[in-house]
Structure 1
């Protein structure tokens, strides 16, 4: 029987059983975002274990494991022909290792959707750079009125023409609960 080297990162499908470790990674990863925005009450930081477990039962996604430790996670859901990507989180000590890019690629390769969409905050420059390097382009920017904005980014995944995507009230993008 062969085994993976201890330092190799392996991607597997997310499971509700991963909720505790994912919540720990999510909170650790989003602390830097809270500092950027001056908001410790952002959804990834206040989500409960029960909420996350329920969410994982209704969504899909991937986890990155290194020596049996979850070091990254991404959650996805398909809606109206669009792959909605949310809560990409990488353990702070593993950031910059290409794990986020690998998780995005796994999500994109295992969908029937023609397009993918994700969002981040306008001050999250490292996130925006990563998404642009992965082929995402800004599609909608919604100003928050405090000098920040929610930036929605899309990527064409197939040669099929883009669909209408998730319905947006008054033409505005609505952040999915991922």
Structure 2
């Protein structure tokens, strides 16, 4: 599928929230985990960080994926909220979004880190194929927990 990946605009916040909710609800249903913490993000929270969000649009301009990265003072790029609309899963769009978020911080990042659900086997395989290794597993009060993955930046 041909998509354009670009920085989100302030008026994209509502669509970003919709894509995230659709993607994470689909994953929660797939793995029978109704406690994904990503579902608690609000429109105001997305709006506050919209300048860190990358989005992918299909040829008709529909927002079909989103993701973001935040660089901390130690040179670690924290990747979060990678989301692909459910009907486009498995087409390589998640992989392209991951690479785009990494590239947006290339040169400044010394390390990349991200979290996924402990039962998100497809996500874990995607990240491992892209050089990430499991750094730690974190239990949650509810649900199966999170997996913390990391990889060093190349360059």
TM-score, normalised by the number of residues in structure 2: 0.87
Task: Tell me what 2:146 maps to.
Answer: 150
1:28-78 Cα offsets, whole Å, 9 max, x none, are: 101123222532x53332322222212325xx1311110211100001100
Residues 22, 145 of structure 1: CA spacing in aligned structure 2 closer, same or farther, 3 A cutoff? closer
Question: Which consecutive unaligned segments of at least 5 residues does structure 1 have?
Answer: 1-6, 160-178
Distance 1:142 1:45 in 2: 18
Q: How does 1:13-92 map to 2 (within 5 A)?
A: 13-35=7-29, 36-39=31-34, 42-57=36-51, 60-66=52-58, 67-79=60-72, 80-92=74-86
TM-score by length of 1: 0.76
CA change 1:143–1:48 in 2 (3 A) is closer
Q: How many residues align?
A: 150
| Structure 2: unaligned runs, 5 residues or longer | none
Residue among 105, 129, 135 paired with 1:133: 129
CA distance in 2, matches of 1:100, 1:38: 20
Deviates more, 1:71-80 or 1:149-158: 149-158
Shift of 1:146: 6.1
